[in-house]
Amino acid sequence: NEIQKKINKDLKFLCTWLRANKISLNASKTELIIFRDPKKKMTQDLKIKINGKKLTPSDSVKYLGIYIDHHLNWKTHQTNLSPKLGRAVGMLCKIRHFVNIETLHMIYYGIFSSILMYGSQIWGQQNNIVKKLQVLQNKALRIMHFQPKGTSATPLFKKSEILKLTDHVNLQNFLFAHDSLNNIL
């Protein structure tokens, strides 16, 4: 009950602030997500209304192309990313017979890497998700180099001068830490 009162007070403040700043909030496009520990059940039924429209909590929301779930474990994002990457691998498999390796690299960056790397510094902190997506990246490299399924992908990354997903995430983290320490964010 105390939580509900606090939420109502905060919503009233939010609506007042929005009106004062001449900002409209489209309640029908507004999504609500309540982050919580996966081990804890949601015991309260929160009643949240904006402009008379009730908002119901979602298990996940899509924000700027990244799926954020209520446990922040990124499984929803991985579930939505895997089929896209699988289709990109299929396209690479078909086109590799008709183009040279330089063109194939450009296609890889355009249809596979751009999808894989988007937001990876955020969701890439989850090792189990990275491992599952790394398998797809390894498959893409094997296909690009006409290598069979069991071939190690590590030499192919080096030969192609392409960073593994894990290395890309680490690089982004290091660059972020560097910029943060040097006050250039």
pLDDT digits 0-9 by tens, 89-114:
999 999 999 999 999 999 999 999 99
**Cα gap 79→1, rounded to integer Å:** 36
Per-residue tokens: 56: 């119901």
Evaluate if residue 149 carries a pLDDT over 90. Answer: yes
pLDDT (average), residues 132-152 = 96
* 98 SS3 class: coil
Residue 92 CB partners (closer than 8 Å, separation 6+): 104, 107, 108, 111, 112, 140, 143, 144
pLDDT tens digits for 17-60? 988 999 888 878 888 888 888 888 776 677 787 777 888 888 89
Average pLDDT of the residues of the chain: 91
> What pLDDT shows up at residue 15?
81
Query: Does residue 78 surpass a pLDDT of 70?
Result: yes
Q: What is residue 43's predicted lDDT score, i.e. its pLDDT?
A: 67
Which residue has better confidence, 2 or 184? 184
CA-CA distances (angstroms) from residue 139 to 41, 83, 96, 100? 39, 14, 13, 19
Distance, CA of 26 to chain centre: 25
Of 124 and 31, which is predicted with more confidence?
124
User: Comparing C-alpha atoms, which of 1, 4, 2 is closest to residue 48?
Assistant: 4
- Confidence grade of residue 85 (pLDDT, cut at 50, 70, 90): very high
pLDDT on residue 147:
96
Instruction: Out of 40-54, 96-110, 118-132, 139-153, pick the least confident.
Output: 40-54
76 pLDDT above the threshold of 90: yes
Per cent of the chain over pLDDT 90 is: 68
How confident is residue 2, by pLDDT bands cut at 50, 70 and 90?
A: confident
Report pLDDT for 107: 97
